[in-house]
Amino acid sequence: MKLLDGKTVLVTGASTGIGRAAAVGAAKAGADVVINYHSRDDDAAACIAEIEAAGQRGLAIKGDVAAPETATEFVAKAVEAFGKVDVMVSNAGICPFHSFLDMPVETVQRTMQVNLLGGYFMCQAAANQMVAQGHGGALIAVSSISALVGGEYQTHYTPTKAGLHSLMQSTAIALGKYNIRCNSVLPGTILTEINKDDLADEAKRKYMEGRIPLGRLGQAEDLAGPIVFLASDMAAYVTGAALLVDGGAFVNLQ
């Protein structure tokens, strides 16, 4: 018996990085997995191949999470293919690093639309489906350590991560009566495409590594276990929680 046997798990932004690791991790734990992706068909196909190699069914649906209709379409197509939705992992996100004083309006708006509103609509669409099904479910938002601390070049980004963290707290209250659990994971610095350019700066990368008690930056796969746990019935009494997955970076003051 695997942790996610019989469950259908949806993951947004899953053609790369943490989303892909979560999707493949869920499949290895026994779930059928439906992924949303934005643009790269080859990467999405590779993710589905990994899901199928784990012996599970996979389906990729293209769409921009910033558009509310993407969420309803994603959930409807998942139900059409696999009959139900048990878990939504709202992961899609962008972080175009930029200084505060000259931040372009469009960069702020797009970051809020993708990260926060995209997460809101995805979770809302999944929750409506779960309520209609009548047997509970789990929402998991990929927030960030940046929900709790700031970043000089992330003034448009950190509020979206704090917003997702807060969204899971409020939905935990709104959806508890339906046995829908709502939690967030708070990754620290994880080596993915989102920060490839930022961490190409050797000095910055060394500085970030030096802040981490476990002595290394994270890998996308480091998030798979915590996400599978929160998706599973092992976490049946966990809701409204936020799980730091940061190698200890947050607590490392001195």
Ligand X SMILES: C[C@H](O)[C@@H]1OC(=O)[C@H](O)[C@@H]1O
Ligand Y SMILES: NC(=O)C1=CN([C@@H]2O[C@H](COP(=O)(O)OP(=O)(O)OC[C@H]3O[C@@H](n4cnc5c(N)ncnc54)[C@H](O)[C@@H]3O)[C@@H](O)[C@H]2O)C=CC1
Site residues (vs ligand X, CB under 6 A): 95, 144-146, 151, 161, 189, 194-195, 198
Of the candidate spans 27-35, 89-97, 120-128, 231-239, the one that interacts with ligand Y by CB under 6 A turns out to be 89-97
**Residue 206 annotated to the active site:** no
Which lies closer to ligand Y via its Cβ, residue 29 or residue 71?
71
Q: What is the DSSP letter of 211?
A: T
What CA–CA distance (Å, rounded) separates 192 from 195? 6
What CA–CA distance (Å, rounded) separates 95 from 137? 29
In degrees rounded to 5, what are phi and psi of residue 118?
A: -60, -45
Q: How far is the CB of 108 from ligand Y (least distance, A)?
A: 15
Which lies closer to ligand X via its Cβ, residue 175 or residue 194?
194
* Full 3-state SS string of 215-244: CCCEEHHHHHHHHHHHHCHHHCCCCCCEEE
Phi-psi region of 60 (alpha: psi -120 to 50; beta: other; left: phi over 0): beta
Q: How far is the CB of 192 from ligand Y (least distance, A)?
A: 3
**Residue 7 annotated to the active site:** no
Q: How far is the CB of 206 from ligand Y (least distance, A)?
A: 16
Contact pick of 31, 194, 212, 230 for ligand Y (by CB under 6 A): 194
Which lies closer to ligand Y via its Cβ, residue 85 or residue 194?
194
Binding mask 150-189 for ligand Y (x = CB under 6 A): -------------------------------------x-x
Q: How far is the CB of 193 from ligand Y (least distance, A)?
A: 4
Q: Quote the crossing angle between the two packed helices 118-133 and 158-175, to the nearest 10°.
A: 20
Handedness of CA 104, 144, 203, 199 (dihedral sign): negative
Q: Which does 16 bind (CB under 5 to 8 A by kind): ligand Y, ligand X, none?
A: ligand Y
CB-based contacts of 175-178 (< 8 A; 24+ apart in sequence): 175/127, 175/130, 175/131, 175/139, 176/239, 178/127, 178/130, 178/131, 178/136, 178/137
**Residue 77 annotated to the active site:** no
User: Using CB under 6 A as the criterion, which residues of the chain lie in contact with ligand Y when the complex forms?
Assistant: 12-13, 15-19, 36, 38, 64-66, 91-95, 114, 142, 144, 187, 189-190, 192-195, 220
